[in-house]
Chains A and B, each alone.
Chain A
Amino acid sequence: MPTTTVEARNLGKRYKDTSALENFDLSAEAGTVLGLLGPNGAGKTTTVRILTTLLSLDTGSASVAGFDVARDARQVRRRIGLTGQNPAVDDLLSARQNLVLFGRLFRLTKARARERAARLLEQFGLAETADRQVKKFSGGMKRRLDLAAGMILAPQVLFLDEPTTGLDPAGRREVWDAVSGLAADGTTVVLTTHYLDEADRLCDRIAVIDHGRNVVEDTPAGLKRRMGHDRLELVVADHAELAAARGLIEAVASGEPAVDEAAGSVSAPVAEPVDALTATATAAREKRLEVADIGLRRPTLDEAFLELIGQEDRK
Chain B
Amino acid sequence: MTTTNPTMTRETLGSRLKWTIHDYRAIVGQEFAHIFRQPANFAWQLGFPIVMVLLFVYVFGSAMDVTGAGAGVDYVSFAMPGMFAMTMAFGFTNTAWAVAEMKEKGFIDRVRSMPMASSAVVVGRNIADTIHAAVDLSILALIALVIGWRSDGSLLETLAAFGLLLWLRFALIWVGVWLGLLVKNVEQAGNLFAVAFPFAMVSSVFTPPDLMPNWLGTIAVWNPVSATATAIRDLYGNPLPVGDAWPETHAIAAALIGPIVITVIFLPLAVRRFRGLGR
Task: Enumerate chain A interface residues (CB-CB to B < 8 A).
Answer: 49, 52-56, 74, 77-80, 82, 84-88, 90, 92-94, 97, 101-102, 104-109, 112, 116, 133, 149-150, 152-156
Contact = CB atoms under 8 A, between A and B. Distances in A.
B34 A93 contact: yes
Interface of B: 1, 3-4, 6-8, 19, 22-23, 26-27, 29-30, 33-34, 37-38, 104-107, 109-116, 120, 277-279
B116 A107 contact: yes
A79 B1 CA distance: 13
Contacts of A155: 4
A84 B6 contact: no
A92 B278 contact: no
Given A88-B105, A133-B37, A154-B1, A78 B6 contact: yes
Given A56-B279, A86-B104, A133-B37, A107 B19 contact: yes
Contact of A54 (B105, B107, B113, B120): B113
Contact of A97 (B4, B33, B104, B110): B33
Contact of A105 (B23, B33, B37): B23
A140 B38 CA distance: 24
Say whether chain A's binding surface is mostly helix, strand, loop, or mixed: loop
A157 to B, nearest CB: 11
A111 to B, nearest CB: 12
Contact of A101 (B30, B37, B112): B30
A142 to B, nearest CB: 11
A80 to B, nearest CB: 7
A85 B7 contact: no
Given A92-B34, A105-B116, A149 B110 contact: yes
Nearest to A97: B33
Nearest to B38: A92
Contacts of A116: 3
12 contacts: A54-B277, A77-B113, A80-B113, A92-B38, A101-B26, A104-B29, A105-B26, A105-B111, A105-B114, A107-B6, A133-B37, A149-B110
Contacts of A94: 37
Q: Which 5 A-B pairs have the closest CB atoms?
A: A84-B106, A88-B106, A104-B26, A154-B1, A77-B115
Nearest to A82: B113
Nearest to B108: A88
B7 A84 contact: no
Given A88-B107, A106-B6, A52 B113 contact: yes
Contacts of B23: 105, 107
Nearest to B3: A154
Contacts of A149: 110
A97 B37 CA distance: 11
Nearest to A90: B30
Contacts of B26: 101, 104-105
Contacts of B114: 77, 102, 105-106
Nearest to B279: A56
B32 to A, nearest CB: 11
A153 B127 CA distance: 27
A107 B22 contact: yes
A55 B30 contact: no
Given A84-B109, A105-B27, 11 more contacts: A54-B277, A78-B115, A80-B113, A88-B106, A106-B114, A107-B19, A107-B22, A107-B115, A112-B7, A153-B3, A154-B3
Contacts of A97: 33
Nearest to B2: A154
A8 to B, nearest CB: 16
B109 A106 contact: no
A106 B116 contact: yes
A79 B112 CA distance: 13
B239 to A, nearest CB: 43
A153 B109 CA distance: 17
B7 A109 contact: yes
Contacts of B113: 52-54, 77, 80, 82
A92 B3 CA distance: 27
A155 B115 CA distance: 12
B110 A154 contact: no
A97 B34 CA distance: 11
Contacts of A78: 6, 115
A222 B208 CA distance: 78
B97 to A, nearest CB: 14
Given A86-B105, A88-B107, A88-B109, A74 B115 contact: yes
B4 A156 contact: yes
A98 B260 CA distance: 36
A53 B106 CA distance: 14
